[in-house]
């Protein structure tokens, strides 16, 4: 594959705690992933993104790293990762790993030393500031997970900054030694053979050295936390606590490191009020990120699936400068699963298939989250079983992120759906997921699992769907999404019925032939119009 193997490719995201438990402790692990790689390869994806598996106190379940170079014992040992990487490569799968570089755990040796006083070698490796004369925090910055971004440390007599939980202190990237140390942590995994990094919160590395207050957001509540109710974090314009100009220069240093390892790539997660603009800025040219991963299609707990929702996200990106390449996802480990978020009535396999078909038809790189190939809905977790600290904080308004993190259902007739032989798993497997287990779907030709395999295999036959330009068509109906994907030699019209009612559509293009994926529930197609059933779709080869 070329060095741009990721461009237009399909990634599969794994949340390792919930993928497969190989040792019976109720928590997924790296060897468990290795044993299930054939399942992933059978889908036809190009690469895998694995969420953090490094040593961690697990306050934020791996996004609070205490040792970047060592696998946490609950996931295995470093040699387990090496074996996973070898097998994935033998199956033709690339592997990118999640690097959490904006902050560490408060148990990381760097922070343990830093908090001992202001004269030690790592005293300024984190963001420390004196309290105001009245003892309050240095400024008005707010944590995404609730409360101020500052926690007072009695040993140092100062506040330290954290954009997330107080156990996740932010690194001080204004210190060149911090940058150098982080680059060496990244080099460790490049040397081990990974194909790239998914960079968590890639625009959060730098803060304003003057610690100026963020201004209020006066034009409505921002969606930076993906919530659809008011939280203090969304009441500010985040101009000083993240997305600082200096951040770009460090991104360039990361890219220079990546360039030393042929065929590797950098995927940056961007979260900001103007995420599309920042995403383009961070991935323009050939000296920054290869592509960025935004939340444009993942907002809210309940969202209506409309043509304008999809179209505005893609067209906003197309309007940016720099010929940047986008990445898209409808689900991940932080948001309500798309099968539930886009449907307030009931979960239907046709909707799950439609969402996958849209994702794999858009211009950009696509990310499928574990369980989407099974059409899993969001799980409802009783309060006493909640694990996510953010969910406990937000309860009862929201259960947090646990609903999309429950264990993968592998076997319909086994305890915990075959995820684990443990007496109890870290999160429960809902009964609804048991009935959508992979083994059950193997035997039904029209299952979401078999549809996903057929879709990805079919897509490989049409280069326009991987690398072609995109142009939208207007039908005057927000339940109809239509766009063309074109290259010099191929033109494909893509049409999707986003509603639960049948739609008849006049074709805006001159049809050459119907190339709709076989087995989809589309109505008859002639050269002038098509009838699509609820959540139906089609792809048509056309001429000018």
Break the chain into its structural domains and give their ranges: 10-102+176-457, 468-543
- What pLDDT is attached to residue 321? 81
Instruction: Provide the percentage of residues in the chain whose pLDDT is more than 90.
Output: 88
The mean pLDDT value for 319-348 works out to: 89
Write phi, then psi, for 268 (nearest 5 degrees).
-105, 130
Write down the catalytic residue from 200, 241, 273, 372.
200
* 247-266 average pLDDT score: 98
Reply yes or no on whether the pLDDT at 36 is more than 90: yes
Q: Is the pLDDT of residue 346 over 70?
A: no
- Does residue 302 surpass a pLDDT of 90? no
pLDDT tens digits along 406-458: 999 999 999 999 999 999 999 999 999 999 999 999 999 899 999 999 999 99
pLDDT at 151 over 60: yes
Does residue 224 carry a pLDDT above 70?
A: no
Q: What is the mean pLDDT of residues 467-473?
A: 97
Degrees, nearest 5: CA angle 471-293-105: 175
Contact yes or no for 112/104 (Cβ under 8 A): no
Residue 76 reports pLDDT greater than 60:
yes
Task: Show Cβ contacts of residue 357 under 8 Å, excluding neighbours closer than 6 positions.
Answer: 455, 496, 517, 537
CATH level 2 (architecture), domain 468-543: Sandwich (2.60)
Around 99, how many Cα atoms within 13 Å sit in the side-chain half-sphere?
Answer: 26
User: pLDDT value at position 227?
Assistant: 66
User: Predicted confidence band at 390 (pLDDT cuts at 50, 70, 90)?
Assistant: very high
> Across residues 300-321, what is the average pLDDT?
93
Q: How far is CA 92 from the centre of its chain?
A: 22
372 is catalytic: no
Across all residues in the chain, what is the average pLDDT? 94
Q: What is the pTM of this model?
A: 0.96
**Looking at residue 223, what is its pLDDT?**
46
pLDDT value, residue 120: 97
In this predicted structure, what is the pLDDT of residue 383? 97
Q: For residue range 512-537, list pLDDT tens digits in order.
A: 888 887 545 455 666 788 999 999 99
Helix (H) or strand (E) holding 258: helix 246-259
- What is the CATH architecture assignment of 10-102+176-457? Alpha-Beta Barrel (3.20)
- pLDDT tier, 258 (very low <50, low <70, confident <90, very high otherwise): very high
User: What pLDDT is stored for residue 516 in this prediction?
Assistant: 81
pLDDT digits (tens, 9 = 90+) for 92-108: 999 999 999 999 999 99
Q: Please, are residues 489 and 518 in contact by the beta-carbon 8 Å criterion? A: no
Evaluate whether 438 touches 445 at the Cβ level (below 8 Å).
no
- The pLDDT score that the predictor gives to residue 5 is 97
Catalytic pick among 260, 262, 431, 544: 260
The answer to whether 200 is a known catalytic residue is yes
């Amino acid at each position: 594959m070329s060095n741009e193997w990721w461009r237009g490719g399909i990634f599969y995201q794994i949340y390792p705690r919930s993928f497969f438990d190989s040792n019976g402790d109720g928590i997924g692990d790296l060897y468990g992933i290795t044993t299930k790689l054939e399942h992933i390869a059978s889908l036809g994806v190009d690469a895998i993104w694995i969420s953090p598996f490094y040593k961690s106190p697990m306050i934020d379940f791996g996004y609070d790293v205490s040792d970047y170079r060592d696998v946490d014992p609950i996931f295995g040992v470093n040699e387990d990762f090496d074996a996973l990487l070898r097998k994935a490569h033998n199956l033709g799968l690339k592997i990118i790993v999640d690097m959490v570089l904006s902050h560490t755990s408060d148990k990381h040796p760097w922070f343990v030393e830093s908090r001992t006083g202001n004269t030690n070698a790592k005293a300024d490796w984190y963001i420390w500031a004196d309290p105001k004369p009245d003892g309050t925090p240095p400024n008005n910055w707010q944590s995404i997970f609730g409360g101020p971004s500052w926690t007072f440390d009695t040993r140092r007599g100062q506040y330290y900054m954290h954009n997330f939980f107080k156990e996740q202190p932010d690194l001080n990237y204004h210190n060149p030694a911090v940058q150098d140390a982080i680059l060496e942590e990244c080099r460790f995994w490049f040397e081990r053979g990974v194909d790239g990094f998914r960079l968590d919160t890639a625009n959060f590395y730098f803060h304003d050295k003057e610690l100026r207050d963020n201004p209020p957001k006066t034009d409505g509540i921002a969606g930076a936390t993906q919530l659809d109710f008011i939280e203090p974090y969304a009441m500010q314009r985040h101009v000083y606590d993240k997305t600082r100009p200096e951040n770009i220069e460090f991104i360039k240093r990361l890219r220079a490191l990546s360039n030393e390892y042929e065929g590797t790539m950098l995927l940056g997660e961007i979260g900001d009020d103007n995420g599309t603009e920042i995403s383009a800025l961070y991935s323009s040219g050939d000296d920054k990120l290869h592509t960025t991963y935004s939340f444009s299609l993942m907002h809210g707990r309940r969202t209506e699936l409309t043509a304008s929702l999809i179209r505005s996200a893609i067209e906003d990106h197309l309007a940016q400068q720099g010929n940047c390449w986008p990445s898209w996802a409808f689900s991940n480990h932080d948001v309500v699963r798309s099968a539930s978020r886009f449907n307030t009535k009931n979960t239907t396999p046709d909707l799950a298939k439609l969402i996958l078909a849209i994702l794999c038809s858009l211009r950009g790189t696509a990310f499928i989250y574990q369980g989407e190939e099974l059409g899993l809905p969001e799980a409802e977790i009783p309060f006493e079983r909640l694990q996510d600290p953010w969910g406990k904080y937000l309860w009862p308004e929201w259960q947090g992120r646990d609903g999309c993190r429950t264990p993968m259902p592998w076997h319909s007739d086994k305890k915990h759906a075959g995820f684990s032989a443990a007496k109890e798993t870290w999160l429960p497997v809902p009964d609804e997921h048991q009935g959508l287990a992979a083994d059950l779907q193997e035997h039904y030709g029209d299952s979401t699992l078999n549809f996903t395999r057929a879709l990805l295999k079919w897509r490989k036959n049409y280069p326009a769907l991987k690398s072609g330009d995109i142009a939208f068509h207007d039908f005057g109906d927000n339940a109809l999404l239509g766009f063309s994907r074109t290259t010099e030699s191929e033109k494909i019209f893509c049409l999707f019925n986003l509603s639960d009612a049948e739609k008849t559509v006049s074709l805006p293009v001159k049809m050459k032939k119907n190339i709709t994926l076989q087995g989809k529930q589309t109505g008859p197609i002639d050269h002038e119009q098509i009838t699509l059933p609820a959540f139906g779709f089609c792809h048509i080869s056309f001429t000018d």
